[in-house]
Structure 1
């Protein structure tokens, strides 16, 4: 998973099919799902996966209306095509089902 360090970098990346995970270093649910991310990425080779630290790129989180984390937002050709946000801890199976449904 590539770490996004600038808004410009993010805008370039989302022209290709992309799953963006908005996260933060202090987020326990983000740390919970982190070990499963390589398997999730391997199961979906048609997408590139990027990670955005919401606290470091707050403007990006605000622009895409991301309040809760972790949030998974899917993009294609620069447009949002799906979003998986819930107040509950996310599982590998739920994230895979979200991506499969896109």
Structure 2
């Protein structure tokens, strides 16, 4: 879903939009109404309404990616690490021996 937005150079472009509920103070028994509004996800532009029209304005400042404060919970689970399958050394050797013993291949003489 998109909505037409006028940019500073005079061009009109369709940008991604979302539906936002229009708050209605008349009561909860009324069917909710929605309006299309531009998604505020562009790092270069912010969108403002003037009357019925939407206008793009250059964004001032900067955006920063949010970083998690704590380590992800799955980091403590050895099998869920990205490099768990690439283990080398004694850990991989022991794991391979256990798998061969379970499959019966380790007992061949």
TM-score, normalization: structure 1? 0.23
Choose between structure 1 and 2: higher strand proportion.
Answer: 2
TM-score, normalization: structure 2? 0.22
| Structure with the larger RCO, 1 or 2 (CA within 8 Å, 6+ apart) | 1
Structure with higher Rg: it is 2
Choose between structure 1 and 2: higher helix proportion.
Answer: 1
